[in-house]
Amino acid sequence: MTALIYLTGIAVFALVIYLTLELAPATPTGRLAETLTPADGVVLNGWRRSLSPLDKPVSKWTPAGLLRQTRADLYWAQIGDRWNDWNEVQFTSLRVALAVAGFGLGMVATGEPVFALIGGLVGFQYPAMAMGGIARRYRRLFISQLPEYVQLVSAQMSANVSMEEALRRTSQAQSLAGKWMRRVLQMAQGRDLIEQMQREAQEAHLPELIGMSVQLEFIRRGTAQQELMGQLATSIAADYIGSAEQRAEKVGSELVIPMVVFYFLPFLVQDQTTFLGRAK
Amino acid sequence: MTILIPVVGLLCTTLVLLLWYPKPTRTGKLADLYTVDSARTLSSLDQKSLDYKLLAAGLPMKPVTFRLLCVAAGIGGTVIIWLFLPGLPAIVVGGIVFYVPGAWLDDRVKSRGRKIDQLLPIGIGRIAAGLLAGGSVPDVLQQVGESLEIERTNPLTPEFVLTASEMRIKDRVEALRGLASRSPSVSLSNLAQLLEGYTESGGRAYTGVLMDISMRVQQILIARNRAQAKAGDSLVSAKVLPAVLVLILVYLSQDPMVRASLNAIPVQIVIGVTMAAMVAGYVIIRSMIMEAV
Per-residue pLDDT of A59-93, as tens digits, reads 889 999 999 999 999 999 999 999 988 999 999 99
Both B204 and B238 in a single domain?
Answer: no
- Percentage of residues of chain A with pLDDT beyond 90: 52
Rounded Cα–Cα distance for residues A103 and A8 (Å): 10
CB contact (8 A) between residue A254 and residue B227:
no
DSSP state of A41: P
Which pLDDT band, with edges at 50, 70 and 90, does A247 fall under?
confident
| B146 inside domain | yes
How far from B73 is each of A207, B94, B117, B120, B280, CA to CA, in Å? 48, 8, 33, 37, 19
| B90 inside domain | no
Tell me how many degrees the CA angle B196-B202-B204 measures, rounded to the nearest 5.
Answer: 110
pLDDT given for residue B1 in this prediction = 63
Q: Which residues contact B231 (CB under 8 A, 6 or more apart)?
A: A247, A248, A251, B289, B292, B293
| B14 inside domain | no
Write the residue in B197, B266, B274 that is nearest to A155 by C-beta. B197
Rounded Cα–Cα distance for residues A43 and A37 (Å): 8
Q: Which of B110, B173, B209, B246 to mutate to test the interface with A (most CBs of A within 10 A)?
A: B209
Chain B interface includes A147 (CB < 8 A) = yes
Both B209 and B128 in a single domain?
Answer: yes
pLDDT given for residue B156 in this prediction = 92
Chain A interface includes B15 (CB < 8 A) = no
For B269, half-sphere exposure in the C-beta direction (CA atoms, 13 angstrom radius) is 3
Both B140 and B211 in a single domain?
Answer: yes
Average pLDDT rounded to a whole number, residues A188-198: 91
**Residue B181: its chain A contacts at CB < 8 A?**
174
Both B215 and B148 in a single domain?
Answer: yes
Write the residue in B234, B237, B261 that is nearest to A278 by C-beta. B261
pLDDT given for residue A47 in this prediction = 77
Rounded Cα–Cα distance for residues B215 and B217 (Å): 6
Which amino acid, residue A219?
I
Rounded Cα–Cα distance for residues A12 and A213 (Å): 48
| B252 inside domain | yes
Closest A-chain CA to B266: A273
DSSP codes, chain B: -TTHHHHHHHHHHHHHHHHHSPPPPP-SHHHHHHHHHHHHHHHTS-TTSHHHHHHHTT--S-HHHHHHHHHHHHHHHHHHHHHHS-SHHHHHHHHHHHHHHHHHHHHHHHHHHHHHHHHHHHHHHHHHHHHHTT--HHHHHHHHHHHHHHH---SHHHHHHHHHHHHHHS-HHHHHHHHHHH-SSHHHHHHHHHHHHHHHTTSGGGHHHHHHHHHHHHHHHHHHHHHHHHHHTHHHHHHHHHHHHHHHHHHHTTSHHHHHHTTSHHHHHHHHHHHHHHHHHHHHHHHHHHT--
How many CB atoms are located within 10 Å of the residue B175 CB?
25
What is chain A's mean pLDDT, rounded? 86
Dihedral pair phi/psi, residue B155, rounded to 5°: -80, -10
Both B208 and B238 in a single domain?
Answer: no
Measured between CA atoms, how close is A245 to chain B, in angstroms? 5
Rounded Cα–Cα distance for residues B71 and A212 (Å): 50
pLDDT digits (tens, 9 = 90+) for A15-34: 777 666 655 444 445 555 44
| B10 inside domain | no
**Orientation angle between helical segments A176-187 and A64-79, nearest 10 degrees:** 110
Please list the pLDDT of chain B residue by residue as tens digits (293 residues).
Answer: 666 677 777 777 777 776 666 555 444 443 444 466 666 777 777 777 888 888 888 787 888 889 999 999 999 999 998 988 888 889 999 999 999 999 999 888 888 888 899 999 999 999 999 998 888 999 999 999 999 988 888 889 999 999 999 999 988 899 999 999 888 899 999 999 999 988 887 766 678 888 888 889 899 999 998 998 888 888 888 889 989 988 888 888 888 888 888 888 888 888 899 999 999 999 889 888 888 77
pLDDT digits (tens, 9 = 90+) for A37-53: 444 556 667 778 888 88
- Last residue within a domain, chosen from B224, B252, B275: B224
Both B245 and B205 in a single domain?
Answer: no
Chain B interface includes A172 (CB < 8 A) = yes
CB contact (8 A) between residue A230 and residue B212:
yes
Rounded Cα–Cα distance for residues A113 and B224 (Å): 49
Both B198 and B144 in a single domain?
Answer: yes
Both B243 and B183 in a single domain?
Answer: no
DSSP state of A261: I
H or E element in which residue A141 lies: helix A113-158
| Domain interval for residue B148 | 120-224
| B20 inside domain | no
For B129, half-sphere exposure in the C-beta direction (CA atoms, 13 angstrom radius) is 9
- Last residue within a domain, chosen from B196, B224, B252: B224
Q: What is the pTM of this model?
A: 0.78
Chain B interface includes A243 (CB < 8 A) = no
Chain A interface includes B235 (CB < 8 A) = no
| B30 inside domain | no
How far from B174 is each of A55, B44, B167, B181, B199, CA to CA, in Å? 50, 15, 8, 10, 11
Asked if residues B232 and A253 have their Cβ atoms less than 8 Å apart, the reply is no
DSSP state of A43: P
Both B156 and B205 in a single domain?
Answer: yes
Both B261 and B196 in a single domain?
Answer: no
CB contact (8 A) between residue B234 and residue A280:
no
Q: Which of A205, A251, A210, A132 is nearest to B293 (CA)?
A: A251
DSSP state of A111: -
> pLDDT at residue A196 above 90?
yes
pLDDT given for residue A1 in this prediction = 65
Write the residue in A174, A248, A277 that is nearest to B231 by C-beta. A248
- Last residue within a domain, chosen from B190, B224, B258: B224
Average pLDDT rounded to a whole number, residues A115-141: 93
| B260 inside domain | yes
> pLDDT at residue A140 above 80?
yes
Asked if residues A137 and A130 have their Cβ atoms less than 8 Å apart, the reply is no
ipTM: 0.75
pLDDT given for residue B27 in this prediction = 44
Both B134 and B174 in a single domain?
Answer: yes
pLDDT given for residue B148 in this prediction = 92
Rounded Cα–Cα distance for residues B176 and B163 (Å): 7
Q: Helix, strand, coil shares of chain A as percentages rounded to 5?
A: 80, 0, 20
Dihedral pair phi/psi, residue B264, rounded to 5°: -70, 140
Measured between CA atoms, how close is B227 to chain A, in angstroms? 5
pLDDT given for residue B34 in this prediction = 45
Write the residue in B216, B271, B285 that is nearest to A237 by C-beta. B216
Q: Which of B182, B135, B190 is nearest to A155 (CA)?
A: B190
pLDDT given for residue A185 in this prediction = 94
**Least-confidence region, from A103-117, A197-211, B249-263:** B249-263
Both B243 and B278 in a single domain?
Answer: yes
**A81's torsion region: left (phi>0), alpha (psi -120 to 50) or beta?**
left
Q: Which of A134, A147, A136, A131 is nearest to A209 (CA)?
A: A147
Write the residue in A240, A258, A280 that is nearest to B285 by C-beta. A258
CB contact (8 A) between residue B230 and residue A248:
yes
Rounded Cα–Cα distance for residues A213 and A75 (Å): 17
pLDDT given for residue A36 in this prediction = 47
Number of domains in chain B: 2
